[in-house]
Amino acid sequence: MSVEQALWFIVGVLALIVGLGISIGLHEWGHFAPAKRFGVGITKFMVGFGPTVWSTQRGETEFGIKAIPLGGFVAMHGMFAPSESTRRRGGAGTDFAGMEPPSDEEAFDDSRSFYRLSVLRRIVVMLGGPVMNLVIATVLYAVLLMGFGIIQPSLTVGSVSECVLPATETRTQCEPGDPAAPGNQAGLRPGDVIVSVDGVEVDTWLELTEVIRVNPGNTITLGIEREGVARDIRITPLLTERYAIDSRGQVPVDVRGEPITEEVGFVGIGAALESSRQPVGQVPVAVWDNVVGVTNIILTLPQRMVQVAQAAFGDDERDPNGPISVVGVGRIAGEIASIDSIETQDRIASFLALLASLNIALFVFNLIPLLPLDGGHVAVALIDGIRRRFAKIRGQPAPRPTDPQRLMPLTLVVIAALISMSVLLMYADIVNPISLVQ
């Protein structure tokens, strides 16, 4: 790596730290704003954990930045109802680093305690943080898709293969005996623009691919433009093994995570890629796809962490689609900034995509219904609401809010698990990182 690339690498890492810090700050503001509106006493609003780097007092709340940018907290008065032996004071918005410091018990009277809010208001406060991350991700995807566009296949032929090799074949060079590619035989050339199939206009490369795949052995006529001149080319797709393609142009996988193959028609041409701005309707689609992807990672986290451990302490390769730590994300941000073979706007677009994905991860992860995560606080509020409803139906007095002492053992287990996973991922991202540069 040259000196210039090293400097750009550092710029990329710093840009990620700033972007992540802003995302965390807005996450915490998502908790702070409704809590403040509902009258909850708030002593601290902090971005980060560990030693305080900077802080200022604004009214009753201390706002500040701490040294470790791995989360944040809003220290709210009376986060949990008093137990028989003690009063716990916590904060909303735990992200990665465990429980927040307790707020000052004497700072506010009990009427301004968080636990005094109605169930609905408690849920609004706790969901405010994750929802803010979702809003950030949606805005970033809107800028990315509608402003920068995405790289996708065009209807211009970018490559023409000389022969046909099965999808699972590891070699890339043609050898004697390999069947000739129909596209090459028919005379297709890179730069040809395909406009129709059998006289029917096609709008996307995926449409063209679908026609070719369902017509093995059947001759079809491609209408093309070559250097501004229209012409027809007759071509017969060859039946061969290819990867399956779903309705979005993605390759589906089986239960083992292996790509699915099928016997379909193939002519041996590849599309030239182009940047294309997307309509607003594609923004929620991109957001949903990422939410589903992160959810699947979380649902399969135990086996994924086993794979990470095997890669960290053995010779296994890292799964490029597996979980990574903030160290790994920082490395990727640095590599994006230091790659000098791509345009500046493509670097910016890649960085926005990375930051949007991080916010989706924060959104989904914080919805896990376990303390100390936001989803755990929502679960406690819902449980209290259900208990009150049943008591009302039975004509009984409203029960006391959930005793925090009963939740502490499970909370400590979750904190220990989060710390252990974070340490393992950081170690793996140092000794066997996922890298964009091979």
Catalytic residues, by residue number, are 28
The C-alpha atoms of residue 325 and residue 129 are separated, in whole angstroms, by 21
From residue 402, alpha-carbon distances to 86, 124, 131, 239, 388 in Å are 13, 18, 25, 64, 11
From residue 285, alpha-carbon distances to 29, 37, 142, 245, 348 in Å are 26, 33, 11, 18, 21
Q: What is the dihedral of CA 325, 327, 328, 331, to 10 degrees?
A: 160
Sequence letter at residue 208: L
Phi, then psi, of 354 in degrees rounded to 5: -65, -45
Going by C-alpha positions, the residue among 387, 356, 361 that lies closest to residue 373 is 361
Contacts of 34 (CB under 8 A, 6+ apart): 121, 124, 125, 128
Question: H or E element: which one contains 356?
Answer: helix 344-365
From residue 249, alpha-carbon distances to 204, 306, 426 in Å are 11, 30, 33
Neighbours of 299 (CB within 10 A): 9
The answer to whether the beta carbons of residues 132 and 72 sit under 8 Å apart is: no
